[in-house]
Amino acid sequence: MDRSQFLLWVSLALFSIGLLGLIVRRNLLVMLMCMELMLNGVNLSLVTFAQRGGSVEGAVLVFLIFIVAASEIAIAIPIVLLLVRDRLTLDAGAYTDLKG
């Protein structure tokens, strides 16, 4: 098993763990972390493919995605904190106000 194949397996594992966590866990912060995990799994596969193709665009793109992900989480965490202050719980099932 060569290195790039290994890395792709790792990225698949990261993504799957994140997805599974997102679906089964109800804690909002954990769900956010799982989403980050998924994003990084995808990022890993992106650099792996870029390296295999011999181009640097993939690496550049990953750095851009890191920045976007960092700003996204910087907004998401304060929103979660505000929600928690309101309801004093991190359970995602408590926030169903938009349900029709």
From the list 46, 49, 38, the residue with the least C-alpha distance to 13 is: 38
Nearer to another protein among residue 35 and residue 44 (C-beta):
35
Q: Please state the closest distance from residue 87 (CB atom) to another protein, in A.
A: 15
Nearer to another protein among residue 19 and residue 65 (C-beta):
19
Q: Which residues of the chain form contacts with another protein (CB under 8 A)?
A: 19, 22-24, 26, 31, 92-93, 96, 98-100
In 1-100, which ranges are continuous DSSP H helix? Answer: 3-24, 28-53, 57-87
Nearer to another protein among residue 75 and residue 96 (C-beta):
96
Cα separation, 100 vs 92, whole angstroms: 17
Q: Please state the closest distance from residue 7 (CB atom) to another protein, in A.
A: 20
- Residues found in the chain: 100
Q: Please state the closest distance from residue 30 (CB atom) to another protein, in A.
A: 12
DSSP assignment of 3-18 equals HHHHHHHHHHHHHHHH
